[in-house]
């Protein structure tokens, strides 16, 4: 580890968690330092240590500043995997969500009954859709049939925003593609994987490989930037050659003939960390929004986390709020009346903080 960090502190300037908290302990440098002690068996995995390792969005922003190109988020993630047997007891909220995502397909009726019973006691910041996206959509043939595309819906589209899945179907149908929606697909496993629960992530990936592996398709498209990241980078998807078919929405749409809905509002774009820092995808959505002719103003030229970060906002709500507050200020400075994004986690966070009407998924802009 000594060679992985010279403690220069460059990473501190961009880490959203450090900037929100001001604590060296949970800065990238502080984490690497403690992980070094832990790996050398000089540190017991106490609650404070576990909290330190959990307090990271895994956004990767720190890595672009690191003078040694240290894979900071990978080191933090690997430590989480080691700590998972202890972590799941400490962070029960994310554990419950993780369990739900891992098993909802099998026990959907039970989970929905539980939700109905508990929603008045533990109100959620969102409403579940009356009918999940995957419950009725299957195959949409096209007369033009340019290619075969499968949709990976992801959990948020499935349960909260089936309308976004329908918008993707409509868009791809208009462009002339056959659309397949395998009903056996399930959660991409990102939540489980980032928590350190690799076993569950592997189990979910196996189900998705079974659902998509046999299809004769050219591309897989998902409305969620975070699902895109997991499908593109998780080893079982790569080995099954699923990853090579996965294409990011804005990149897929770049050269397509598109018609946009009219908008008389100034808009801005919110970069999902998974697109911006993991895949260096940031120009594509901006090109689309400018092509649409909308009044566009940049609110985060280098990207900026919204604080959601999968399980991060569940486990560290106060820090998540502070990170969001900073993002909100940058949006407000532009005078933008509408924020556009393409990650379901960001969508939930931004809608909760800015208001439902002030945030849209990019799919909602197409006529």
Stretch 34-63 residues interacting with ligand SF4 (CB under 6 A) = 56-62
Which secondary-structure segment (H or E) carries 139?
A: strand 139-140
Stretch 73-92 residues interacting with ligand SF4 (CB under 6 A) = 73
Binding to ligand SF4 by residue 15, rule CB under 6 A?
Answer: yes
Taking the complex as a whole, how short is the minimal distance between the CB of residue 4 and ligand SF4, in angstroms?
A: 7
Binding to ligand SF4 by residue 6, rule CB under 6 A?
Answer: yes
Binding to ligand SF4 by residue 10, rule CB under 6 A?
Answer: yes
Q: Are 175 and 168 in contact (CB under 8 A)?
A: no
Q: Which of 48, 67, 287, 367 binds ligand SF4 (CB under 6 A)?
A: 67
Q: Which residue, 9 or 45, has its beta carbon nearer to ligand SF4?
A: 9
Taking the complex as a whole, how short is the minimal distance between the CB of residue 7 and ligand SF4, in angstroms?
A: 5
Count of positions on this chain that bind ligand SF4 (CB under 6 A) = 27
Binding to ligand SF4 by residue 164, rule CB under 6 A?
Answer: no
| Binding region for ligand SF4 (CB under 6 A) out of 24-32, 148-156, 217-225, 247-255 | 24-32
Residues 183 and 134: their CA atoms lie apart, in Å, by: 6
Taking the complex as a whole, how short is the minimal distance between the CB of residue 237 and ligand SF4, in angstroms?
A: 22
The angle, 0 to 180 degrees and rounded to 10, between the axes of the packed helices 92-103 and 72-90 is 100
HSE at residue 307, side-chain half, CA atoms within 13 A, is 25
Please, which residues have CB within 8 angstroms of residue 315's CB and are 6 or more apart in sequence? Answer: 54, 55, 91, 93, 94
Residues 213 and 216: their CA atoms lie apart, in Å, by: 8
| Binding region for ligand SF4 (CB under 6 A) out of 13-21, 93-101, 174-182, 343-351 | 13-21
Binding to ligand SF4 by residue 71, rule CB under 6 A?
Answer: no
Listed residue (97, 161, 93, 174) closest to 343, CA to CA: 161
Residues 27 and 13: their CA atoms lie apart, in Å, by: 10
Give the N- to C-terminal CA distance of the chain in Å, as an integer: 52
Binding to ligand SF4 by residue 30, rule CB under 6 A?
Answer: no
Q: Are 331 and 268 in contact (CB under 8 A)?
A: yes
Taking the complex as a whole, how short is the minimal distance between the CB of residue 15 and ligand SF4, in angstroms?
A: 3
Helix, strand, coil share of the chain (percent; to 5): 55, 10, 40
Q: Which residue, 322 or 334, has its beta carbon nearer to ligand SF4?
A: 322
Q: Are 268 and 298 in contact (CB under 8 A)?
A: yes
Binding to ligand SF4 by residue 195, rule CB under 6 A?
Answer: no
Binding to ligand SF4 by residue 29, rule CB under 6 A?
Answer: yes
Taking the complex as a whole, how short is the minimal distance between the CB of residue 78 and ligand SF4, in angstroms?
A: 13
Taking the complex as a whole, how short is the minimal distance between the CB of residue 55 and ligand SF4, in angstroms?
A: 8
In the block, tokens 């990853």 appear at 243
Please, which residues have CB within 8 angstroms of residue 80's CB and are 6 or more apart in sequence? Answer: 53, 54, 87, 194, 195, 196
Q: Which residues sit at the interface with ligand SF4, rule CB under 6 A?
A: 5-11, 15-17, 28-29, 32, 56-62, 65-68, 70, 72-73
């Amino acid at each position: 580890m000594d060679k992985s960090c010279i403690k220069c502190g460059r990473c501190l300037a961009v880490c959203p968690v450090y900037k929100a908290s001001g604590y060296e302990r949970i800065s990238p440098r502080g984490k690497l330092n403690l992980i070094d002690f832990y790996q050398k068996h000089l540190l017991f995995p106490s609650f404070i240590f576990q909290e330190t390792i959990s307090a990271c969005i895994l956004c990767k922003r720190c890595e672009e500043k690191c003078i040694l190109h240290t894979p900071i988020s990978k080191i933090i993630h690997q430590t989480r995997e080691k700590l998972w047997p202890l972590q799941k007891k400490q962070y029960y909220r994310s554990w419950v969500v993780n369990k739900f995502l891992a098993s909802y397909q099998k026990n959907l009726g039970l989970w929905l009954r539980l939700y109905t019973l508990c929603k008045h006691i533990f109100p959620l910041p969102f409403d579940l859709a009356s009918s999940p996206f995957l419950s009725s959509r299957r195959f949409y043939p096209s007369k033009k049939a340019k290619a075969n595309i499968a949709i990976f819906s992801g959990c948020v589209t499935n349960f909260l925003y089936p309308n976004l899945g329908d918008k993707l179907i409509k868009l791809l149908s208009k462009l002339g593609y056959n659309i397949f929606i395998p009903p056996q697909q399930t959660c991409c496993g990102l939540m489980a994987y980032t928590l350190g629960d690799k076993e569950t992530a592997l189990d979910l990936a196996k189900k998705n490989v079974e659902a998509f592996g046999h299809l004769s398709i050219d591309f897989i498209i998902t409305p969620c930037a975070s699902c895109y990241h997991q499908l593109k980078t998780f080893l079982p998807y790569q080995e099954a050659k699923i990853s090579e078919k996965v294409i990011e929405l804005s990149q897929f749409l770049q050269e397509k003939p598109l018609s946009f809905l009219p908008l008389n509002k100034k808009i801005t774009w919110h970069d999902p960390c998974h697109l911006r820092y993991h895949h260096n995808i940031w120009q594509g959505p901006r090109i689309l929004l400018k092509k649409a002719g909308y009044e566009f103003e940049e609110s985060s030229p280098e990207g900026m986390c919204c604080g959601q970060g999968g399980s991060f906002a569940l486990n560290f709500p106060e820090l998540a709020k502070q990170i969001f507050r900073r993002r909100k200020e940058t949006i407000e400075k532009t005078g933008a009346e509408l924020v556009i994004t393409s990650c379901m986690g960001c969508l939930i966070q931004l809608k909760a903080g800015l208001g439902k009407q002030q945030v849209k998924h990019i799919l909602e802009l197409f006529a």
